[in-house]
Structure 1
Amino acid sequence: MSGEEQALPPSVMWAQRNNLIFLTICLEDCKNPEIKIDNDKVYFHGLGGTEKKNHEVTIELYKEIDPEKSVKCIRDRNIELILKKKDENGPYWPHLMKDKKKYHWLKVDFNKWKDEDDSEDDVGQSEDLEEMMRQMGGLGGGGDSKPSFNDLEPESDSDDEELPDLE
């Protein structure tokens, strides 16, 4: 192998709402990645994955976003970005990127995807993107969201009965 190794694009998943784009960069153990969110593109560079390889990608977006209102959350298993569309009530984008080419590293995130004509849920309608990240499991600090089992009454269980002696 020669000096500089070619950076690979990481696996990226995306979904959208009328006012948002969800981008998930699927790269484990990526410490201190370089992420630049501009009004027409997203740049990512980081070292990670099981083999600690160099990953880099520039995503030229279909339309403009508002970088000031966009949020990023770096986790152990991935990096999540919520990009606020410039045209907040605009139509769904027909594709994520400016060009219509298909990329092997770019996939639709069906867990977050909602069709344009579906009724909206909690995620995606809130103006507070940080609260939205908390709802999705990002940014930590769930507050009092842990379930309480104090109200449950103990029930008799067959496991509680004594076992007969062995013969």
Structure 2
Amino acid sequence: MAPIHPEVTYAERCNATEPEKNIIYFTINTPDIKGEPKLEIKPTEISFAAKAGDASKGVPEKEYAFDLQLYDEIIPEETKKVITSRAVLLILRKKEPRSEYWLRLTKEKPNRNWVKTDFSKWVDEDEQEGAEDPTAGMDMAGMGGMGGGMPGMEGMGGMGGMGGSMPGMGGMGGMDFSKMMEQMGGMGGMGGGMPDFGAGEDDEGDSDEDRVPEEEEDIEEISTSGAADKGKAKVSGLDDVE
């Protein structure tokens, strides 16, 4: 079975005077992942490999893998991570504080076709001030002291015991998986259809105002008919007495 490239989505933040705000939100979309993925993070390279699926449950088995050369340097030991059965979310710390974004994510030009912009997290350079933190509510575990590699990935199947927070990223409490999945949107996906605003209307498009007079006429007709029936009943009763 030949490995396939998982979809990778990313978004950036930059700041020339506050180094901790120079980061990349890097998401690896890996549905049905199982076991511990192999992840190696170096200053200019990220390598990843994982298995997914479960034949016993009818979920096709597959292997994910990639080796990505980054456009510029990052600080591996400053990396933060969250791992779920559907995705691996990393926050990469850029080495050089700058007031502008990288020209692209990869050294290769252009980005590979499986590397896409994460529009759910992206903001323009001049709109960063006051922008919402897309990782708020997530418990991002740090990789401090692991150097350029990452031999083990703790936390698969649960987030318990994963402490740490990223400087400048605000407080991060317990993991809010529903919010994270909403933000990933399938990890960069812009899918979803428009809601059906016409639900509940009839084919002719009559409004409530159009229907009310008809209902009032029906009520009047029923009331008149009922009175007539009562009148007949009284006359009939008299006939019986005679």
- TM superposition score normalised by structure 1: 0.70
What is the Cα deviation at residue 118 of structure 1?
A: 1.0
Where do residues 17-166 of structure 1 align in structure 2 (5 Å cutoff)? 17-18=13-14, 19-30=22-33, 31-48=35-52, 50-120=59-129, 121-123=131-133, 128-129=165-166, 132=169, 135=172, 140=175
What is the Cα deviation at residue 103 of structure 1?
A: 2.1
Question: Conserved in 2, the CA contact under 8 Å of 1:13 and 1:24?
Answer: yes
Which residue type is aligned with residue 47 of structure 1?
Answer: K
Secondary structure at the aligned position of 1:59 is classed as strand
Where do residues 5-24 of structure 1 align in structure 2 (5 Å cutoff)? 5-18=1-14, 19-24=22-27
Which residue type is aligned with residue 49 of structure 2?
Answer: H
Question: Conserved in 2, the CA contact under 8 Å of 1:71 and 1:130?
Answer: no
Quote the residue 1:147 is aligned against: none
Which deviates more, 31-40 or 112-121?
112-121
What is the Cα deviation at residue 38 of structure 1?
A: 0.6
Which residue type is aligned with residue 58 of structure 1?
Answer: D
Distance 1:105 1:91, change over 3 A: same
What is the Cα deviation at residue 85 of structure 1?
A: 0.3
Distance 1:45 1:17, change over 3 A: same
Higher strand residue share: 1
- TM superposition score normalised by structure 2: 0.50
Question: Conserved in 1, the CA contact under 8 Å of 2:13 and 2:128?
Answer: no
What is the Cα deviation at residue 92 of structure 1?
A: 0.5
> Structure 2 CA distance, aligned partners of 1:81 and 1:44?
12
Quote the residue 1:151 is aligned against: none
> Structure 2 CA distance, aligned partners of 1:53 and 1:23?
22
> Structure 2 CA distance, aligned partners of 1:89 and 1:72?
23
What is the Cα deviation at residue 129 of structure 1?
A: 1.8
What is the Cα deviation at residue 106 of structure 1?
A: 1.1
Which residue type is aligned with residue 123 of structure 1?
Answer: D
Which residue type is aligned with residue 4 of structure 2?
Answer: L
Higher helix residue share: 2
Larger Rg: 2
